Amino acid sequence: MNDEQLHFFQNWFKHHVLTFQEVDPLHQRSIDMKKEHTFRVCAAIDRIVSDLGLVENDHRIASVTALFHDLGRFPQYQKYRTFRDPDSENHAKLSLWELNRYRVLQPLDFSERQIISRAIFFHNRLRIPENLDPQTLLHCRLIRDADKVDILRVMAEHFRMEESLRNPVITLGLGADMLVREEIYRLLFERQTMSYAKLKTTNEFKVLQMSWVFDINFRSTLKVLKERNDIGKIAATLPDTPLLREALDFINGYIERRLQS
């Protein structure tokens, strides 16, 4: 891929998003949110890739993956008015559907197209499948890390916002109950990848997001997380209990150990 092709994709994305404009400002807010998320994931992936010192072509492949990873969010919202995949469709699949529909990646080599498509396809899976080839694995790991950096940022901002200003689509319609069941913290201590299906309340959703730290692939990403402290900001909006403090110590200890190794 060359720089010209990368610029073409960036322009295509900007124009394509305009076709999803909404009349109602509330709906437009959801569209803008995903557009801004995309640009910030692009910035996050840039930073991780630069820190890792990857070659130029991997940098461009990572940028295109970041640019298109959530492309399916726009038709998803237009059609279903939700970002909840279980109530609509898997948004990663929709991203690929949209790319194919407009033959966007057509100018690229088959192998580059395949890496980008697979990285997009696996970006929202609970786990990356084993036995992917090294290039695909690299790009799967990059997009998953960059995406998590920005989702944690969105959540930290969202939960600190006054309730009336919050966009309810962000918390996937979970209950407002304060309770976080002990079993949810236990999953965090076991570093288990939690599925959304297990959650009952918005506060449990916050604990799930804190546990993402154990699924971060690169130290470069952990540096960003430590610097931004979005996990700490999310934790500060949870009921202050001994289990929460233990969880935070556990997470911070984990980050420090990995940064030193």
Binding site for Fe ion (CB under 5 A): 70, 124
Q: How far apart are CA 127 and CA 33, in angstroms?
A: 25
* C-alpha distance from residue 182 to each of 186, 214, 222, 241 (Å): 6, 19, 26, 11
State how far the Cα of 239 lies from the Cα of 131, in Å rounded to an integer. Answer: 41
3-state SS, 110-139, equals: HHHHHHHHHHHHCCCCCCCCCCCCHHHHHH
CB of 92 to Fe ion, least distance (A): 6
Q: Which is nearer to Fe ion, 70 or 230 (CB)?
A: 70
Residue at shortest CB range from Fe ion: 70
Which of 141, 244 has the CB closer to Fe ion?
141
Alpha carbon distance 81, 183 (integer Å): 32
Of residues 120 and 180, the one with the C-beta less far from Fe ion = 120
At 260, list the tokens. Answer: 């030193």
- We find the least distance from the C-beta atom of residue 47 to Fe ion, in angstroms, to be 19
**Residue whose CB is less far from Fe ion, 70 or 145:** 70
* Smaller CB separation from Fe ion, 95 or 211: 95
Q: Which is nearer to Fe ion, 121 or 185 (CB)?
A: 121
Give me the least distance between CB of 209 and Fe ion, in Å please: 14
Beta-carbon contacts of residue 167 (< 8 Å; ≥ 6 apart): 29, 30, 33, 158
Instruction: Find out whether 7 and 64 touch, Cβ atoms under 8 Å.
Output: no
Least CB distance to Fe ion at residue 34 (A): 9
Least distance in angstroms from the C-beta of 68 to Fe ion = 10
Residue 123 corresponds to which tokens in the numbers above? 């970006």
Tell the smallest beta-carbon distance from residue 124 to Fe ion (Å).
5
Confirm if 66 and 35 have CB atoms less than 8 A apart: no
